Structure 1
């Protein structure tokens, strides 16, 4: 009797294993795309995945169990199809250049899995079984989630590599409204470490910033309102707050907190609580700056962002950046970071981060000899286009992963000014966010918790309660609103040449709300 022929298929990497109702599953990367080369190491974006069952059939399951298993599989696919998974087979993407440069020889000998920064290993839970077997570590590659862009650029005939990497933390990960504030360990929701790198003729430079939810106990649960009222918990905040900043100070050094929320309305109590807790810590390593983004930039006065950039210029010079010269000698160390936040740590935050990163880049390129004395980055039209689009793409990637839509205000990041089309797109994205946050993000949150191991499936469990809204009565309102808004946009865009539509600046800025 001949043995059945085995089916083989090529894979690009192993995400790990997970137990569902039907048993164990292997998750593999089936297609990848090259993003670029980081100091001679190929960086890949995972494009397609496959979830392979250890068992050939699910006949051993009851009808209810089978349905549950299908639901869990769809949850895994929900996470895997969220764009933004990256890996490298021979370089550690979880650490900044400065952290890697300050490690010991023993650290360099470790496998990528052993030495990875666990905050940014999104398949850490999936790799637990492989991690327990050192001989399999070469197959167990850490996968980060976020955004990476690598661009060869030219200024003054000098070619350099400009790179932007955003690493999303897998601790207290989730979606907008369902995950806010911090947990008991001090992990902040939607925490992202963003590193800007420049490589030129053997020299390397890096500038790091962070963003994250306001690090105390607060929530903003979806309740069908366009902007649910934030609620500050009555729990003792200082323990979690202290843990958060103890960790941040240890990893990054000094912290300048840029709080961009409104200083009136429902956001005001959050700003006041944050300021009070920073003051209560009485730590000279922490500096708190509140900047009411919407008030300062109202009526399209986006030039006023320079007020904040100028206010922190001296601090930014003190913090500096990391740089290694062409002889591999460290000539600068970054001694602190800007920790920016708005409500979601997406739209307003990304705008400010891009401005601070440009200022750092100006100094780095001058020091490397790419920019001549007196030249400004803003004057380099070809590079400016690359720079602005990459930061806008970074905003979109982080926004899709957390809020479910592209970012708001990206017209300013891409062009340096606010446009009517940008306002319309912000309105559209806000409506999509409203729908997703109220009617589909519960399932997305469950999916992330399953993927990261915050919820474990027991094969003997009965039906599992999931946050899936099945009552179609509640879907009527948002669907009508979406259709109405889309028709409004179509009418505006297709207005005839003799149709006069007057856009009051005050009116536009008051009707489009950004979080």
Structure 2
């Protein structure tokens, strides 16, 4: 028998499924650039190797095992994973400099979890590596550190530029948190530990080479290193959007007793990691988004009473920038300019032993923390980059990177690509409004592209994101399978009532019969009238039924179904109660039937999930 030989470039970790443990190894990589003298790679191919010899990955012996393996593969193939063998890509430059003395003798994974980054938020495969980490900590003589490779889920781009006889490099990195990770509608707001959905740290790095007095350039000898960090994250209150097949989901804000405490935990953690916090909210002040904005302002006022390092700033993005006046983001910059100057940026100069530290960061959010957030973060990054280059004397006062075509183009492309990748990871499509980021203006073609992306998001968020959310929960350790596949048959069976499952088939048959009727011979214009009327009626009634019961046709996560959110009836705000049938009250028969089938998997594993959620945090963190 012939075996294919492959290079193994690293170990992603170990994962335990229902029948076997599996070793995930990196078998493909793509060079993305060189940072701080070290190569940075993107993982492009993986192999999943069973530790039991009688288990086949290609032909699993049980459908549950096959389903779980499919989730692992989908997550690996869809993610944008980055790593380096000699540089900690999971930690920003300032934190690495602050911890250099204590980490210089540590392994790469230990440096990634140093006290300056104690949450290991961006060590994406921390759960998968937990077995190797535990073994190393338990027996230091059997050190497995060389096999523990920290992986970052995010973006990386680095480009050279040449201005006024100075060689520079511009780098953009985003790091996605492994806490409360998931998809757009299945992970919103914050949890009771203070972790928020779609949390990303974005670091813009500027490297400037040393220039000798003779004028000779010394390439790759960057005497000046600058870092500017921004963060984004979901509005830190308990809220959700419930998919019902309608374009606008039902908006729900849950007024829980510990909301202020959970938000305070979130803000305190950000202060301890980044310093002062400027909270920039871009959520609309009226219409659909208004309740989220009001809840944010209500609880940030309570949570920040004893947090003087927190300042809230609201910017009415859609009103201020209407009619494609995106240049008016400068109004926001003017309002927070004092904070930007005070917080500054990290500046390390070889000629000065003590660097200038970034004292705080801007936390930007809109509803999704994608499109509006991308535009504002890019504008803040450009303002800071101009200031940095002017401080170094590379740009004259009043000049901008837009005055230099090559650098301006690289900057816009880097931020647009960065926005697309973050959006694909969370919403399933590229970012909206990237035409402005790429060209500095809003275009009609860009608006058409945004329409296409919006449709794509709707389809993925309603019909495909359930499995994608399951993959996140499985790979980050939020759900751990039992060693008995029979207890997880809910993953591969459809527990919905027959009358619910049958309606899409009725619609499909009706549409087929209508199309077939167009080809039938007829003796007069009215000979098939009743035929078409019959099948049009079937199609219309079945479609109407699907819309009324839309919640039963959404692709919900099965590992940890959000039944507590869908059927929440406590204090707060609910924009609607759609998709639950004609009887929308909690006492209705349909409500009880829907809750029963949707929560089947959770009922079978409820105690196990609670045990894992607590036990995993102990073990992994």
Band the TM-score falls in, shorter-chain normalisation: 0.7 to 0.9
Task: Quote the residue 1:70 is aligned against.
Answer: 66
Note the C-alpha offset of 1:464: 4.3
Counterparts of 1:21 and 1:229, CA distance in 2: 35
Taking structure 1 as the reference length, the TM-score comes to 0.88
Task: Quote the residue 2:121 is aligned against.
Answer: 119
Task: Quote the residue 1:353 is aligned against.
Answer: 377
Note the C-alpha offset of 1:266: 1.7
Task: Quote the residue 1:268 is aligned against.
Answer: 290
Counterparts of 2:406 and 2:242, CA distance in 1: 44
| Aligned residues of 2:225 and 2:348 also touching (Cα < 8 A) | yes
Larger Rg: 2
Task: Quote the residue 1:48 is aligned against.
Answer: 45
**CA 88–324 in structure 1, closer or farther in 2 if over 3 Å, else same:** same
**CA 468–241 in structure 1, closer or farther in 2 if over 3 Å, else same:** farther
Task: Quote the residue 1:211 is aligned against.
Answer: 232
Task: Quote the residue 1:153 is aligned against.
Answer: 161
Taking structure 2 as the reference length, the TM-score comes to 0.73
Which of 435, 452, 468 lines up with 1:411 in the alignment? 435
Counterparts of 2:89 and 2:328, CA distance in 1: 36
Counterparts of 1:139 and 1:328, CA distance in 2: 37
Q: Residue 458 of structure 2 aligns to a residue in which SS?
A: helix
Which of 100, 106, 116 lines up with 2:102 in the alignment? 106
Task: Quote the residue 2:182 is aligned against.
Answer: 174
**CA 172–474 in structure 1, closer or farther in 2 if over 3 Å, else same:** farther
Alignment of 1:291-306 (within 5 A): 291-306=315-330
Q: Residue 337 of structure 1 aligns to a residue in which SS?
A: strand
Task: Quote the residue 1:340 is aligned against.
Answer: 364
Which of 180, 192, 211 lines up with 1:184 in the alignment? 192
Counterparts of 2:235 and 2:135, CA distance in 1: 39
| Aligned residues of 2:19 and 2:485 also touching (Cα < 8 A) | no
Task: Quote the residue 2:77 is aligned against.
Answer: 81
- Count how many residue pairs are aligned between Structure 1 and Structure 2: 474
- Is 1:278 aligned to residue 274 of structure 2? no
| Aligned residues of 1:33 and 1:44 also touching (Cα < 8 A) | yes
User: Deviation string for 1:97-144 (max 9, x for gaps)?
Assistant: 111111152222221112214100111111011112331111111000
| Aligned residues of 1:58 and 1:66 also touching (Cα < 8 A) | no
Note the C-alpha offset of 1:20: 1.3
Counterparts of 1:155 and 1:473, CA distance in 2: 64
Task: Quote the residue 1:503 is aligned against.
Answer: none
**CA 232–130 in structure 1, closer or farther in 2 if over 3 Å, else same:** same
Counterparts of 2:447 and 2:502, CA distance in 1: 31
**CA 358–442 in structure 1, closer or farther in 2 if over 3 Å, else same:** same
Counterparts of 2:198 and 2:352, CA distance in 1: 35
Task: Quote the residue 2:256 is aligned against.
Answer: 235
**CA 468–123 in structure 1, closer or farther in 2 if over 3 Å, else same:** farther
Which of 143, 168, 177 lines up with 2:151 in the alignment? 143
- Is 1:465 aligned to residue 467 of structure 2? no
Counterparts of 1:270 and 1:468, CA distance in 2: 36
| Aligned residues of 1:278 and 1:286 also touching (Cα < 8 A) | no
Task: Quote the residue 1:16 is aligned against.
Answer: 13
| Aligned residues of 1:443 and 1:468 also touching (Cα < 8 A) | no
Counterparts of 1:162 and 1:138, CA distance in 2: 30
| Aligned residues of 2:260 and 2:300 also touching (Cα < 8 A) | no
Q: Residue 289 of structure 1 aligns to a residue in which SS?
A: strand
Unaligned runs of 5+ in 2: 137-142, 210-222, 512-621
